Amino acid sequence: MDQLQPYLQQFNNYLGKFRTLKRIEKATGIPKTYFTLAVYFFTSVSVFFNVWAGFTTTALALIYPTYRAFEASYKDDTEALKVWTTYFWFVGLVQLLELKLDTILYYFPFYYVVKVVLLFGMFLPQYFGAKLLHDAVVPVLIPYFKNAEQAHNKTIPRASQILQHRLVLSVPYVANSADTRHFPRRGIHATTLKPEKLAPNQHKLVAVVLLTGAIVVIGDIVYFTYYHEPVAATLTPEDFKKFKLTEVIPLTHDTSLLRFAANLPQADSPAGMPVPSHVVVKDHTCQVARAYSPVTYARGHFDLLVKKYENGSVSRFLHDTPVGEFVEMRGPVVTLPYEPNAVADIGMIAGGTGITPLYQLIKRILRDPEDKTRVSLIFGNRSPADVLLFNELQIMASAKPDRLRVFLTVDSPADPRPNVGKWTGGVGVINRTMLKQHMPPSALGMDAAILVCGPDGLIQHVAGAKPNETDQGPLGGLLKELGYQDRQVFKF
């Protein structure tokens, strides 16, 4: 510490040049060196790590300039007030842009650093960019000011000027001097007076200011109470956050697509959101949670396919949630780390809503031009009316038949929906024949992977039981009979 004393003393001598710091030191008893270092440390941490950066930079933009503006007003320094007016106009413009462009600013992590440097350049005496801005802008506006003043003078009758002058003279006053003063633009001479109270025009000014302030306050209260939409939350794997349900689209008699507003700018990045992944939905009424795999991650929302089960508390809770309400969720939680081209072929076996994580992965594989992995899907359902994402799967398979093959099978081909053609897919539960025809052969070894997702009965029938979320359990079922190895199969 002793080695730092010469530097601290030198820094203290430098800070002694600033009257404001001397006043703070005298008022608080805190040495100006420590006070300055503390402010610098707090500001640096806040700005560089984006911890209350918006609040910190706004405080920096207002505290010192406000003090200097009041000081100029007290000293009746007209030139300084002109410059500070320009500065606060600039700060207001910056704050307005921040409110409207907060999503865009997400992509500029050093924005607040640039803002601090810009603010210092605007108000520090060494640079005083506000004066440069004032000198550049005001000359452009002078013609408009002159035109407005001329128009104003033409509209005021002579009688109104005389009446206003008499009203001023009617205010109680104390004589200040016997000198006379000429009123410009009116041609009227009057004794110089010192009003004891506000002049009528000053009363009007105060009334206008108070009325404007009241309107702004009431407007803010009404806006934030009834119209303001808060910025949507961002998904985080660790913490539950509230997401607004914005739309419900029924897909089948018991399954709906639920759209939730979210701020997910990373969804538009080349890497995108991690898939396959899921979010954990919490039913706050009974503190029960369940995992759902979104079928869509977009910048402003994500979509869940939710099937309603009579004995499923979370599924019933989601279906009963009205549009406009909020649901607590966290995520995305990666279900299976995926690496492009890790295997040549992926076989997928899905049942019901078990299609959702596999659908995520299919979209990711087909969207990546560098990923040459081939995908084969067997998707089983009770009836044609229960097949989820039917059109989406058919479109993707038709667009890239060399990369994706889809085989649909139903327990019963009867379709209760009107004007629907005859079922052309498979009929019956998933069996050995279907697996041998549509899945990559077990002989490919580690060049092939099989992913299974669906109800517990389907998983046990195809790949053996999965004891819990963290234990895959031994391979069994049809895949075991066909010669697949444990390391080739993953159960969701």
Average pLDDT in the 312-331 region?
94
Q: How far apart are CA 201 and CA 392, in angstroms?
A: 70
Neighbours of 324 (CB within 10 A): 8
The CATH architecture one would assign to domain 241-334 is Beta Barrel (2.40)
CA 252, 256, 257 angle in degrees (round to 5)? Answer: 130
Is the pLDDT score of 165 beyond 80?
no
- Exposure b/e, 118-151, CB count within 10 A at least 16 = b: ebeebbeeeeebbbebbeeeeeeeeeeeeeeeee
The CATH architecture one would assign to domain 345-491 is 3-Layer(aba) Sandwich (3.40)
Predicted model pTM: 0.58
The residue among 364, 350, 369 whose CA lies nearest residue 409 is 350
193-198: long-range contacts, CB 8 A cutoff, minimum separation 24: 193/169, 195/171, 196/171, 196/172, 197/171, 197/172
Q: What is the reported pLDDT for 195?
A: 38
Strand, helix or coil for residue 450 = strand
Which of 149-153, 352-356, 474-478 is the least confident region?
A: 149-153
Q: What is the pLDDT of residues 360-414, one digit of tens each?
A: 999 999 999 999 999 999 999 999 999 999 999 999 999 999 999 999 999 999 9
Q: Which value, in Å, is the radius of gyration of the alpha carbons in the chain?
A: 36
Q: What is the reported pLDDT for 90?
A: 85
Q: What is the reported pLDDT for 431?
A: 97
Q: Which residue has the higher pLDDT, 315 or 106?
A: 315
Percent of the chain with pLDDT over 90: 45
Is the pLDDT score of 148 beyond 60?
no
Q: What is the pLDDT of residues 120-133, one digit of tens each?
A: 888 776 556 788 88
Q: What is the pLDDT of residues 406-458, one digit of tens each?
A: 999 999 999 888 877 889 999 999 999 999 999 999 999 999 999 999 999 99
**Under a CB-based contact definition with an 8 Å cutoff, are residues 105 and 99 in contact?**
no
Residue with tokens 């076989």: 347
Q: What is the pLDDT of residues 213-254, one digit of tens each?
A: 566 556 555 655 555 566 678 899 999 999 999 999 999 989
Binding residues for FAD: 290, 292, 305, 307, 314-315, 356
Query: How do beta strands 301-307 and 404-410 pair?
Result: unpaired
CA 291, 293, 294 angle in degrees (round to 5)? Answer: 130
Q: What is the reported pLDDT for 212?
A: 58
Helix axes 32-48, 53-74, angle to 10 degrees: 130
Find all residues with CB under 8 Å of 87, minimum gap 6, and list them. Answer: 65, 122, 123, 130, 133
Binding residues: 290, 292, 305, 307, 314-315, 356
